[in-house]
Amino acid sequence: MRWVIGTLGVVLLGWGAVELLPVVADSPLSLGGWLLGGPVLHDALLAPLVGVGGAVIARVLPKPWRAPVGAGLVLSGVLVALAVPYLWRTFSGPVTPGLHDRPYLAGLLIALAVVWTGVVIAGLLGREKRGKRGNTPATP
């Protein structure tokens, strides 16, 4: 079973490499940058940032707020990432009637406001729950 899946994988990989040859010949630098950019940016920048962010949250914030704020930051990051192609348009085609003509910055701000409202509600609810249980240690 494993060998079947693995062999199939190698075949598809090879087929993709053949299909990619004209692009490699045509624009190697642009292609290489986009292929390597993701892993490099993730490993060297994004993941360390997430790790440090998590550690800071665990140190600075009281317990009921840690998960909501952590989750809120993750959702905010995803929203900001999805907004980039709409807000940074140096290389974009022209805006045509009915396409790419929404107020994307306002949309992003509204979405972030909704997320952080949720964070505040979840934090307050969590605090109340802990208060009711009667155990309120400042640190775990």
Partner 1 sequence: MKLRPPQEGDFTSPTHGPRVSARIGLWLGIAFGLCFVTGLISHGIQHPAAWFTWPSRPVNLYRITQGIHVTSGVAAIPLLLAKLWSVYPKLFGRPLVRSVPHALERGSILVLIGASFFELLTGVFNVAQNYPWAFFFPTAHYAVAWIATGALLVHIAVKLPVIREALSRRRTEQRPATGALTRRGFLLTTGAAAGVAVLATVGGTVPWLRNVSVFASRSATGVPINRLASAAGVTAADSSWRLRVGEVEFSLDELRAMPQTTADLPIACVEGWSASATWSGVPVRDLLRRAGLPAGSDLRVESLEKGGLYRSTTLPGTHTDDPLTLLALRMNGEELTLDHGFPCRLIAPSRPGVLQTKWVSRLEVL
Q: Which of residues 62-121 bind partner 1 (CB under 8 A)?
A: 66-67, 69-71, 73-75, 78-79, 81-83, 85-86, 88-94, 96-102, 104, 107-108, 110-111, 115
Does residue 125 interact with partner 1 by CB under 8 A?
Answer: no
Residues 11-50 that bind partner 1 (CB under 8 A): 11-17, 19-20, 22-23, 26-27, 29-31, 34-39, 42-43, 46-47, 50
Query: Would you give the DSSP letter of residue 102?
Result: S
107 or 131: whose CB is closer to partner 1?
107
6 or 131: whose CB is closer to partner 1?
6
Residues in contact with partner 1, total (CB under 8 A)?
A: 77
> Position of tokens 């910055």?
105
DSSP-derived secondary structure for 19-66:
HHHHHHHH-HHHHHHHHHHHHHHIIIIIHHHHHHHHHHHHHHS-HHHH
Collapse the DSSP code of 96 into the 3-class scheme (helix H, G, I; strand E, B; otherwise coil) and give the result: strand
Contact between 62 and 138 (Cβ < 8 Å): yes
